[in-house]
Structure 1
């Protein structure tokens, strides 16, 4: 049992670069740069939570200001500077949380403070944690000082969101991307900590902690601290106890569920799921773990036990390998797609527990449709004709399921469809290609007529209003450049011409002055009619009777032949 006052994450925080876990390259690079006296103006550390960003920032501050020098940085008996920096109360090393001080005024105060040299240390160092939280104006105010700071001033930035930092700031820093700590290194580390704390834990329990922490040292130590505190004196932390503490269920149950799923044992599948649900496992967590195990079934042949990030122990690994040998890849891929779809649908269901049971039942039926390779046919009772008939039925059903699952146009989710929806589903779609048969387009007028036939109003408007035709022959159309033309006009026209004629047309823009558009022709023609009409004797007689009269428009009346 852990009786220390300090939490493990603080108690075992690295005191030197050698104590760092999984960040050997970063530690060596920084140490070499300090030894060579080639210290950058600013460091930028980025990575997930708990991999050592703030810790390395403090180690940099200690390495630069330690009274013993970089070659022998204090470890146990700390010098005055190192002790003050470790306790975050050194006057020349300022730690600032950008999450609480985001404004430009805070940065201006920082810049003002930087005008004065260090009082007791060699360098004045500003450590800004969560630097991505600074405002745009704050970053802009920092640029000049960041690019050309005084010799005694150094910046150290830490962030989990590197993409939120302006590129102008990133380019002024020496950037270090801290990777997740490898599972084996983290396992060995927390095993040593457990021994130092005089705690007892099995390897499987520690491996579970490593898996949950996802490469974060702080998360691993926090989980270990929680587990050791939960135990009674001299009690050992085993896998089952760890699963209860952290809310994780035994993966062997899920593997057994898969076995019965592939065998079509509906009652046993639901029985195992209910036992998992009774442990307090949320359906969403169950589905994500389901996907994870599904991934291992698909790729187990190319993985080794270390490549599973301690998700599986040796027994579980071998079980999956045995079951996977009898399953076809198409079955697993179908299961994967169906599970992803269920993850999306589960948010709109009021009773998720019932939805999970129906999900598993549907998977059993999908397994049969996907032609599971483990199915054994009784050749003695089934003749060749009946087997072929069964295969044909399975293929038809599989095709129907595939269409439902992999339809790119997602259908309305719901259990009740109204009459309109049912009508739409049952109506036979009319293929466009059935309409476009034997259409001949030899002239520009034929093209406009085709637009009338197929109700392409927008295309017709562009052709009549904004197209100045240069030439029209042999499936080639050349038109004069016009800024008023719609941007998609040529693309749309080419597409429609191909649909209507089944031939590729070449449409090009020309610098030549084309013929007036249909609209312009009508305007010119109308003007000519008006001018001629004004010269006629009828109009002159009208003016004599009505001097203020003015001819505005003319309608041409076609005479009808009376037979």
Structure 2
């Protein structure tokens, strides 16, 4: 068969190679296929991604953050040779219990040959910055003398019996045989009992390290045989600095507000925080990848529409592997984690919008409060999360009011500190305390409600109207300590200087005090003015209910001291019988207690000398009657 004369482009595409082997000629469209050299762009296989929590797992005690007390204790113990036979590590999830156990096993079995820079090490030590003979295997949980067991899946006595049998034999390679039992509180009662003797007097070559999140479920007999270390939650500033270092190592960017949100959401857990940070980096990199894909599908497609010879040329290959690769690895794909992205990812509400919602509530503006909640819900914030953030804001305001401006400096930005400081200066502590209690109740109710958004709206309505009402002490101050009217209803007018007349006389003074207290904040001035007006209305509205209570007391046989002119005795009469107790309740005008003592209890024993009364509660008696 005669050879076809080929062009340079066909030589590059490999068409002649097919003809030289005697195969049939390819169709004309065949040369348009991708060049055969494409797989050579990535000669190495892609490595599996390792999450940040595993990639940056501490390898030495110096890498641990927030556990300085434990590190100092272990350093002194290893230096003096006072190494216990068992250690109990407790703390919340993701705080570093298992990692600390592995580092401890590495320190117990640390061995290093002498080098020109460092001497040999053949004894337990905390200084393990240079990897030793067994370090890699121990940290990867594949050393034959460091046995890790998950007590959550190995709870029975048979599993502990295997450990006891294995403890008799000396280690194969290392100095000590270390048993790491995670989630030790999951062991059965029989398993704990079987472990006691070996734990109390183990062989010299055996060490135990336990880790648990439920320290109260571990028997006291086990705790007394171990040295206990409580790994504390990591503070927000420490977590932020740790995340900042990791962000720099990963080549990404992150705002401080975003890192603060992640640190607060982690709740002191390093692993939780790294998981959120990992997700935030991936979420923020999506925009860069999308933009890069659009450019790649545009500009690159235009170049790909040329002739086959041009595509197969070396110049195009250089462009594909050079400029295109540079753009792919440059700033286009660099992640930038922002606070808005973190809030959207976690379903959190903006702190500034939460403070706006708090402003509407403290003004008593129910409509604006509901609109603010609806806006937060539309942007992805869950109703319970919005109430929780609102309660957190009330707590921060109360803390700053009680301790000063530095009470929450580590969790607030400069703008947030300014706004929260204004709330602390204008709102009273009783109002903040009532708002806190109502929010806690609202969070509980919303969790049980079939419609959480409706429950959250009702809670905001209650808080808004509560903020518009005066507190009891404001009502008392407005009344000026006036005595209540003695007659039924409003039949007997109050005397001059008492009752509502005293309130009218003190009105200008109260208005002046309210205006001076809120002069710096016009937004809250209206609230203070409504509080004073509400106090006047509350006095008039509450007189009828107070008179009704007085009528009930008279129906029960109580005499009104105001009508009879009798004054209370200076000293209570001696109590010699149960009837005296009932009379004492009546003398102190406790109608509810007197009714319960008359109708809902049966006397068992009365000892006047010992001051003891034994009563049998009849049906209808409240359980807390004994405390009254």
User: For 1:15, which of 53, 59, 65 is the aligned residue?
Assistant: 59
Q: 1:354 matched to which residue of 2?
A: 454
Checking the alignment, whether the CA contact within 8 Å between 1:369 and 1:395 is kept in structure 2 is no
In 2: Cα distance, 1:441 partner to 1:271 partner: 61
Q: 1:60 matched to which residue of 2?
A: 104
In 1: Cα distance, 2:356 partner to 2:542 partner: 26
Structure 1 position 229 matched with structure 2 position 282: yes
- What is the SS of the residue equivalent to 2:93? coil
Residue 281 of structure 1: how far off its partner (Å) = 2.1
Checking the alignment, whether the CA contact within 8 Å between 1:45 and 1:53 is kept in structure 2 is yes
Checking the alignment, whether the CA contact within 8 Å between 2:284 and 2:341 is kept in structure 1 is no
Checking the alignment, whether the CA contact within 8 Å between 2:602 and 2:615 is kept in structure 1 is no
Residue 287 of structure 1: how far off its partner (Å) = 1.7
Checking the alignment, whether the CA contact within 8 Å between 1:43 and 1:175 is kept in structure 2 is yes
Gaps of 5+ in 1: 377-385, 404-424, 445-452, 468-474, 479-487, 494-563
User: For 1:126, which of 142, 163, 179 is the aligned residue?
Assistant: 179
Residue 211 of structure 1: how far off its partner (Å) = 0.8
Residue 138 of structure 1: how far off its partner (Å) = 0.6
Are residues 112 and 271 of structure 1, via their aligned partners in 2, closer, same or farther at CA, if it must alter by over 3 Å? Answer: same
Q: 2:210 matched to which residue of 1?
A: 157
Q: 1:491 matched to which residue of 2?
A: 614
Structure 1 position 315 matched with structure 2 position 459: no
Q: 1:89 matched to which residue of 2?
A: 142
Q: 1:139 matched to which residue of 2?
A: 192
Structure 1 position 5 matched with structure 2 position 5: no
Checking the alignment, whether the CA contact within 8 Å between 2:145 and 2:171 is kept in structure 1 is yes
In 1: Cα distance, 2:270 partner to 2:107 partner: 22
In 1: Cα distance, 2:82 partner to 2:598 partner: 74
TM-score w.r.t. the length of structure 2 is 0.62
Residue 239 of structure 1: how far off its partner (Å) = 0.8
Deviations 1:504-529 (A, max 9, x none): xxxxxxxxxxxxxxxxxxxxxxxxxx
Structure 1 position 30 matched with structure 2 position 74: yes
User: For 1:369, which of 469, 476, 499 is the aligned residue?
Assistant: 469
In 1: Cα distance, 2:433 partner to 2:234 partner: 31
Residue 361 of structure 1: how far off its partner (Å) = 2.3
Structure 1 position 245 matched with structure 2 position 345: yes
TM-score w.r.t. the length of structure 1 is 0.68
- What is the SS of the residue equivalent to 2:262? helix
Q: 1:297 matched to which residue of 2?
A: 397
In 1: Cα distance, 2:575 partner to 2:397 partner: 59
Residue 182 of structure 1: how far off its partner (Å) = 2.2
User: For 1:193, which of 246, 263, 272 is the aligned residue?
Assistant: 246
- What is the SS of the residue equivalent to 1:491? strand
Q: 2:537 matched to which residue of 1?
A: 393
Deviations 1:260-311 (A, max 9, x none): 2223333322221111111232222222211111112222234567653754
Checking the alignment, whether the CA contact within 8 Å between 2:470 and 2:532 is kept in structure 1 is no
- What is the SS of the residue equivalent to 2:180? strand
In 2: Cα distance, 1:8 partner to 1:182 partner: 19
In 2: Cα distance, 1:186 partner to 1:443 partner: 66
Where in structure 2 are the equivalents of 1:335-350 lying within 5 Å?
335-350=435-450
Gaps of 5+ in 2: 1-46, 113-120, 286-332, 475-513, 520-529, 560-573, 579-596, 617-628
May I ask how many residue pairs the two structures share in their alignment?
433
Where in structure 2 are the equivalents of 1:487-526 lying within 5 Å?
490-492=613-615
Deviations 1:16-72 (A, max 9, x none): 111111112211221322232221010111111122111111111111111123458
- What is the SS of the residue equivalent to 1:49? coil
Checking the alignment, whether the CA contact within 8 Å between 1:369 and 1:397 is kept in structure 2 is no
Instruction: Indicate the RMSD between aligned Cα atoms, in angstroms.
Output: 4.0
Deviations 1:367-394 (A, max 9, x none): 1212695789xxxxxxxxx998853323
Residue 357 of structure 1: how far off its partner (Å) = 2.0
Q: 1:422 matched to which residue of 2?
A: none
- What is the SS of the residue equivalent to 2:88? strand
Residue 217 of structure 1: how far off its partner (Å) = 1.3
Deviations 1:416-473 (A, max 9, x none): xxxxxxxxx99x977997499xxx99999xxxxxxxx9678954xx68xxx9xxxxxx
User: For 1:334, which of 434, 443, 449 is the aligned residue?
Assistant: 434
Residue 209 of structure 1: how far off its partner (Å) = 0.9
Q: 1:537 matched to which residue of 2?
A: none
Where in structure 2 are the equivalents of 1:259-278 lying within 5 Å?
259-278=359-378
In 2: Cα distance, 1:443 partner to 1:17 partner: 71
Checking the alignment, whether the CA contact within 8 Å between 2:156 and 2:187 is kept in structure 1 is yes
Q: 1:110 matched to which residue of 2?
A: 163
Checking the alignment, whether the CA contact within 8 Å between 1:88 and 1:95 is kept in structure 2 is yes
Residue 166 of structure 1: how far off its partner (Å) = 0.6
